[in-house]
Amino acid sequence: MNKNYFEIIRAGINSTFQDLGRSNLYHIGVPFSGAMDNRNFLLANKLVGNDHNDPVIEFAYQGPHLKYHGDKINIAITGDVSFKIKNGDNLIDGECYQSFILENGDELDIISTNKSVYGYLAISGTFDLKFQWSSCSTNTKAKIGSNNGEKLSVNQKINVKEINNSFVNRKLNYVNTKIENIRVIKGTNFDYFSEEGKKIFFKNEFKVSKLSDRMGMRLEGKKIENIVDTNIRSEGLIKGVIQVPADGNPIIMLSDHGTIGGYPKIGVVVSADYDRLVQLTPGSTIKFQEVDLNSAETLFKLYDLETQNLISQI
């Protein structure tokens, strides 16, 4: 029997298990999925002494309220998140990028993310999860992955298989930086758009719409005029692709995206900016800046170095 588990008092808006996702399945229609904000995912695992690809709980906006039952365990939360830990009569304000010990009966209330979308909860141990195509990542639209492809729901139990008993206190000084511009490489259908439309794309601001989730981010702004064809022959998509359908409003493909699409691709967000892109909340503004392939590769190297550097500081 599982003696260590979390009881879910409140599940949160969209709490799912995630790891680095699953690859080599686009051709059958299954996307990568995985943690939206890769850096914060990696940091959460390092803060509790896990392997880099161990499953964590990703939450959006409001997180879960959990009650822990079992032997003491370390937890860490990353992102820009407000949370409280209740042990007995003590109510402690939690801090991100710091490990905390939970004892039997303690409660963890992840109240909300602050001016960001996603946060991560890692535990010093392994969740008891089903893996599918060597990943636990839950894709709720396709009903794939752990928890039967569903988000967490109230009153369910999250079982913990093993606890690693190194209760080292770990901490990192890190602030999630906001980004002025999202950098973009021109897409394969860039020339489908009018000169005015191209200008609008790179000069104007767009608003992140409420219709955004793990599949895609819809933007609202001045209409980008298409002068060739508002449809292309259906072809593959990758995360970060910015499609512009007939209504002229861009849609950015995110981690759970459909693998094939038929709207023209005006641009692709560079890999280095993906983590910060997904954290933009509905109502915030976004501005695109054009870069070439060489610069995008350099930006990624810098992003990756910075991530490795942060990990090594823990």
Candidates 187, 216, 221, 250: give the one binding another protein (CB under 8 A): 187
Expressed in percent and rounded to 5, the helix, strand and coil fractions of the chain are 20, 35, 50
Q: Which is nearer to another protein, 107 or 290 (CB)?
A: 290
Question: Amino acid identity, residue 230?
Answer: T
User: Cα–Cα distances in Å, from 284 out to 113, 137, 178, 198, 299?
Assistant: 15, 28, 12, 21, 24
User: What's the sign of the alpha-carbon dihedral 252, 238, 296, 134?
Assistant: positive
- Which part of the chain contacts another protein (CB under 8 A), choosing from 86-94, 99-107, 159-167, 261-269? 261-269
Written as six digits, the tokens of 76 are 């860490």
The verdict on 228 binding another protein (CB under 8 A) reads: no
Candidates 36, 208, 268, 278: give the one binding another protein (CB under 8 A): 268
The verdict on 150 binding another protein (CB under 8 A) reads: no
In the complex, what is the shortest distance from the CB of residue 293 to another protein, in angstroms, rounded to a whole number?
6
The verdict on 55 binding another protein (CB under 8 A) reads: no
Tally Cβ neighbours within 10 Å of residue 12: 24
The beta strands (E) that lie in 135-204 are given as 157-163, 182-186
In this structure, are strands 241-243 and 265-269 parallel, antiparallel, or unpaired? antiparallel
The verdict on 133 binding another protein (CB under 8 A) reads: yes
- Which part of the chain contacts another protein (CB under 8 A), choosing from 11-19, 138-146, 203-211, 222-230? 138-146
Task: Write out the binding residues for another protein, residues 290-309 only, by CB under 8 A.
Answer: 293, 296-297, 300, 304
The verdict on 240 binding another protein (CB under 8 A) reads: yes
In the complex, what is the shortest distance from the CB of residue 271 to another protein, in angstroms, rounded to a whole number?
5
